[in-house]
Structure 1
Amino acid sequence: MMGELMGWTLWSLQMLMLLFVFVIGVVVLAAVVFFVVDRTQTKDAIRRNYPVIGRFRGWFSDLGEFFRQYFFAMDREELPFNRAQRDWIDHASEGESNMVAFGSTRNISLVGTPIFVSAAFPPVDGQFASTEPMLIGPHCRKPFLARSIFNISGMSYGAISKPAVRALSRGAARAGIWMNTGEGAVSPFHLEGNCDLVFQIGTAKYGVRDAAGQLSDEKLRAAAAHEQVRMFEIKLSQGAKPGKGGILPGAKVSAEIAEIRGIPQGKDSISPNRHVEVDDWDDLLDMIAHIREVTGKPVGFKAVIGSPTHFRDFFECLSKRPPEAAPDFITIDGGEGGTGAAPMPLIDLMGMPVRESLPRIANLRDEYGLKERIRLIASGKLVNPGDVAWALAAGADFVTSARGFMFSLGCIQALKCNRNTCPTGITTHDRRLQQGLVVAEKETRVAQYATNLIHEVETIAHSVGVGEPRQMRRRHVRIVQADGSSVPMSDIYPSYRPGGAVPPFTRPLDAGHTQQVF
């Protein structure tokens, strides 16, 4: 018996030695192959000069993104969204408490930080008012009574996956919020949840185009026939890539996508950088009027603000027409970059941030007497209660978010949205990866995120002394300056008052000095 055991042990050791030799041989062979490949290739100087070892630079660079996110970045350091922002959304989506202890980790001395003004005597519980629904498009045959101040921004089916669209649609219905279809048209998966929908018309006019790519009245009427489609939004530009169109590769144009978007299957589809039939503001107003007449529903447009001067031209043009000709809403997107994949210079450098553009456009609207006619919708990295409360105080009537709802679906900010390798199944069409996104689970997270965010915005409103969020004004927010002090937002961006002079926008520099910025 002992001899058999020793024989077995000896055989095992021999097998291990052979396996070890085999592994060493494979490693040596691989190293030789990599050495030859690296030395002979001409694209990478590091690998050419330091064969095999030079490969570790690329691997460590890729892994650095992972290690920074999970181990080295502080809670408030990461971009585009830091861990504190993402954790708040995650807790809200799970229905968990967002209570914290031992003080804030936020550095409130950073220039531009908004600080809300606490009221000496805020309203007691019985004095709180619920946020009232707001009417959009009073001159339309079918105006829209929007129930929620916070809604889902444009993300098209194709840019995000089928289960992601289904979860958002069903979650939006549960929370009583609207969902923007994005420029990829309305799909059966948008309709599945029976939520309110905003049909976005991009420059390629997917879903409402004829064979030549022109706007089709027949397709418009078909889209408007869906009771769930409450409004139409003409997309002039978006935060991720203002001034740029896109190409949908033919490999991604499946039979399903082709049918939904109204394009040939298997062929590249090009989105122009603008609507080719809209050359000026008059053309845009004509297009708005036409779509509203055909559909009978509210129509507005979405744009990143390049300069307030351009929009003064718009309001001047509009002043020559009756109020009924005005867009029913304007969505102001910030140039901070959005969910769409785009060249870095456009994401980084193009367009005004929403925190500067929103109060300026709100003043222009009010100056031309259109406060009750045109609703303002703010978008652009507004994902937490403080962001939404700030936008309402600055002049917005509604706030929409795309990335906030992506986080509610489980997005981990892997920054792989454009590679079809999204590990959470949100922006990929790889069915194996999509399996991780369970619709029944995620729709609950979507609804809870929206509901809890709105609740905390109402808490901020009550703390500043008003009954509901839309009653907040710029005087209720202070903005931190370079010297560490804070000044009311109403001093930096004075609100327009009927009968008064047009207020200049000023930014305090130091005591007794101001700088004209508009």
Structure 2
Amino acid sequence: MADQPVEFLLQAMQFMVALFIFVVGAGVLYVAVLYIIDRTQTEQTIRRNYPVLGRFRYAFEHMGEFFRQYFFAMDREELPFNRADRSWCYRAAKGVDSTVAFGSTRPLNQTGEVIFVNCPFPTLAEDSVPASAVTIGTHCEKPYTTSSLFNISGMSFGAISKPAVLALSQGAKAAGCWMNTGEGGLSPHHLSGGADIVYQIGTAKYGVRTEDGALSDEKLQQVAAHEQVKMFEIKMSQGAKPGKGGILPGGKVTAEIAKIRGIKEGTDSISPNGHTDIRNVTDLLDMINHVRKVTGKPVGFKAVIGAWGYLDTMFAEILRRGPESAPDFITIDSADGGTGAAPAPLMDYMGMTIKESLPLVVDKLNEYGLRDRVKVITSGKLVTPAGVAWALSMGADFITSARGFMFALGCIQALQCNKNTCPTGITTHNKNLQKGLDPTNKAIRVAAYQKTMTKEVGILAHSCGVPEPRQLKRFHARVVMEKGLSTPLDELHPPVATNHQLVQKITLEQSGK
């Protein structure tokens, strides 16, 4: 009898040990199954690159909705892009419901905030029309006509990975928008999806350079021979690093990238801070016309606006030469634009933001009577419908975005772009990290983001009483001033009419020579 309690205790201990082994075994099996599921799925990059562990990110993100007021930043406090804007981009890319509940978290009384003016008689669905088509390069042999409002800005192959380029190319084709190559040259991955392409010529002239770095007409013609290449963009400067060339660390210069760019593998790819053959307005116009003559396609230039007196000089010179000498487009980049790597002083302190520079350039083109001849493309943190609609109201013909489409690819704003350690596989050439980015799946998200953007910009336009977004004008929006009251944009930036006396004076001066 005395042995029974001992025997019972031993049996209980054996049961507990067996139960423990079973639970541990089941737990290990469960984790193993999750690992296999995460490693093989293609929907979420973080889970694929970091199986099991990546799942905690989504749990913590969900908990942040309830605890952020105590421990985390609020929806609109993070930089460079706050949680609210990123969340909209993610939802748009996934094609899920983009409505919000209860009320907006956006403050409506902060200086600089834009408010659109709703019309008492908004455009009905049956009266709305698609965005109108715009032709770029009316004086070219092969002008480019497109109705796409929102397009993919320059991101070089090298700065972003092969899977990212493939996804953007396929997504751009599906959405009917163009993609810009960035200054890293044209790769087969850009062409693979069949999208329209804008070829960017940077200061190092990657992809169209001779051995000593000069512009090669032969290589220009080879690039132009691709039917998909619709335009050429000469990059004078970039918003995140005005006055500084592109920087691609040697660790990201693979053999393939080196071949495309025409440089040595494994060495830092640092572009000059300016074009050695473009030192003034005359040189710039000469280069634009030379590239246009060689390629037969529209040519423009990209710049962040700082000192702007050269615009008067350039536009006056165009009037002297004739409208056919003008750039077919100007891409205005904002001082708060993004990049993979740039010196902090330039990124933080140099150049004008798009809120100042866009109306300035549009008004200067109007003053010199060149607005119809020169199309305006703008970029710089315009990743939501409100930003795009504002740019259209201010006079832009097209908007481009890089970081918005990076969010569509799955970017989590980890700020690792310059370190080859991007956890989402977008800005890294680490094969293990690239595995998480499935081009086919992400292409669907790229297209969905672009289409949702176009749709919701249309919603804003219809609320303002116009049938399509390109009819938005400055009087359709207001901006909040210092005391929390708003002022119409057309009062803050009165539209400028053509100065016919100025145009006539310059024209007469030229004819008298």
Residues 298-337 of structure 1 aligned to structure 2 (within 5 Å): 298-337=298-337
Change (3 A) 1:248 1:384: closer
Task: Report the residue type matching 1:282 in the other structure.
Answer: T
Retained in 2: the 8 A contact 1:300–1:328?
yes
Task: Report the residue type matching 2:173 in the other structure.
Answer: A
1:486 maps to which residue? 486
- Pick 1 or 2: higher relative contact order, CA cutoff 8 A, min separation 6: 2
1:231-282 deviation digits (Å, cap 9, x = unpaired): 0000000011000124544443322112111223344443100000111000
Aligned-pair distance for 1:392?
A: 0.3
1:185 maps to which residue? 185
1:362 maps to which residue? 362
1:264 maps to which residue? 264
Retained in 1: the 8 A contact 2:337–2:379?
no
TM-score (norm 1): 0.83
Q: What is the distance in 2 between the residues matched to 1:332 and 1:251?
A: 31
Residues 87-102 of structure 1 aligned to structure 2 (within 5 Å): 87-102=87-102
1:381 matched to 2:381? The reply is yes
Retained in 1: the 8 A contact 2:330–2:377?
yes
1:446-494 deviation digits (Å, cap 9, x = unpaired): 0000000100001111111111111111011101000111010111111
2:170 maps to which residue? 170
Specify every segment of 5 or more residues in structure 1 that has no aligned partner in the other structure, as ranges. Answer: 14-66, 503-518
Residues 93-492 of structure 1 aligned to structure 2 (within 5 Å): 93-492=93-492
Give the ranges of 4+ consecutive aligned residues of structure 1 lying more than 6 Å apart after TM superposition: 67-70
Aligned-pair distance for 1:371?
A: 1.4
Q: What is the distance in 2 between the residues matched to 1:267 and 1:101?
A: 51
Change (3 A) 1:314 1:436: same
Q: What is the distance in 2 between the residues matched to 1:340 and 1:366?
A: 35
Aligned-pair distance for 1:318?
A: 1.9
Task: Report the residue type matching 2:465 in the other structure.
Answer: G
Identity level (%): 59
1:54 maps to which residue? none
Aligned-pair distance for 1:500?
A: 8.1
Aligned-pair distance for 1:501?
A: 9.6
Aligned-pair distance for 1:326?
A: 0.2
TM-score (norm 2): 0.84
Q: Which has the higher mean CA deviation after the structures are superposed, 493-502 or 158-167?
A: 493-502
Retained in 2: the 8 A contact 1:116–1:476?
yes
1:56-76 deviation digits (Å, cap 9, x = unpaired): xxxxxxxxxxx9997510011
1:169-217 deviation digits (Å, cap 9, x = unpaired): 0000000000000000110110010000000000000000011110000
1:78 matched to 2:78? The reply is yes
Aligned-pair distance for 1:102?
A: 1.5
Aligned residues: 450
Change (3 A) 1:433 1:496: same
Retained in 2: the 8 A contact 1:207–1:260?
yes
Q: Which has the higher mean CA deviation after the structures are superposed, 328-337 or 124-133?
A: 124-133
Specify every segment of 5 or more residues in structure 2 that has no aligned partner in the other structure, as ranges. Answer: 18-63, 503-513
Retained in 2: the 8 A contact 1:379–1:399?
yes
Q: What is the distance in 2 between the residues matched to 1:394 and 1:246?
A: 29
Aligned-pair distance for 1:441?
A: 0.9
1:418-468 deviation digits (Å, cap 9, x = unpaired): 111111111111111111111111000000000001000011111111111
SS at match of 1:390: helix
1:66-95 deviation digits (Å, cap 9, x = unpaired): x99975100111111001001111111111
Retained in 2: the 8 A contact 1:159–1:427?
yes
SS at match of 1:110: coil
Task: Report the residue type matching 1:215 in the other structure.
Answer: L
CA RMSD of aligned residues (A): 2.5
Q: What is the distance in 1 between the residues matched to 2:138 and 2:401?
A: 25
Task: Report the residue type matching 2:265 in the other structure.
Answer: Q
Task: Report the residue type matching 2:331 in the other structure.
Answer: T
Aligned-pair distance for 1:499?
A: 5.4
Q: Which has the higher mean CA deviation after the structures are superposed, 229-238 or 97-106?
A: 97-106
Q: What is the distance in 2 between the residues matched to 1:501 and 1:90?
A: 51
Change (3 A) 1:185 1:290: same
Aligned-pair distance for 1:99?
A: 1.0
Aligned-pair distance for 1:127?
A: 1.6
Q: Which has the higher mean CA deviation after the structures are superposed, 209-218 or 238-247?
A: 238-247
Retained in 1: the 8 A contact 2:167–2:443?
yes
Q: What is the distance in 2 between the residues matched to 1:381 and 1:253?
A: 27
Aligned-pair distance for 1:122?
A: 1.6
Aligned-pair distance for 1:289?
A: 0.4
1:508 maps to which residue? none
Q: What is the distance in 2 between the residues matched to 1:177 and 1:97?
A: 23
Q: What is the distance in 1 between the residues matched to 2:214 and 2:479?
A: 46
Task: Report the residue type matching 2:253 in the other structure.
Answer: V
Task: Report the residue type matching 1:104 in the other structure.
Answer: S
Q: What is the distance in 2 between the residues matched to 1:500 and 1:138?
A: 22
1:369-392 deviation digits (Å, cap 9, x = unpaired): 111110000100000000000000
SS at match of 2:321: coil
